[in-house]
């Protein structure tokens, strides 16, 4: 599991060098992931 932090101008925003928004998930999606993998 990786954490993605948005930094304006670096990986977020109109003139950013990279596009990190596609890696963001909601809190609910993360909770669903934890529940699916709780037996591991």
pLDDT in tens, 1-30: 778 888 998 999 888 989 888 888 999 999
Q: What is the mean pLDDT of residues 32-38?
A: 96
pLDDT of residue 17: 87
pLDDT of residue 26: 92
Query: Chain centroid to CA 2: how far?
Result: 8
Domain count, the chain: 1
pLDDT of residue 4: 84
Q: Can you tell me the distance from the alpha carbon of 40 to that of 33, in angstroms, rounded to the nearest whole number?
A: 12
Q: Quote the domain boundaries for residue 10.
A: 1-40
In angstroms, the Cα distances linking 16 to 5, 21, 35, 40 are 13, 11, 34, 37
């Amino acid at each position: 599991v990786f954490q993605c932090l948005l930094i304006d101008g670096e990986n977020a925003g109109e003139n950013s060098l990279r596009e990190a928004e596609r890696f963001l998930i909601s809190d609910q999606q993360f909770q669903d992931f934890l529940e699916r993998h709780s037996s591991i």
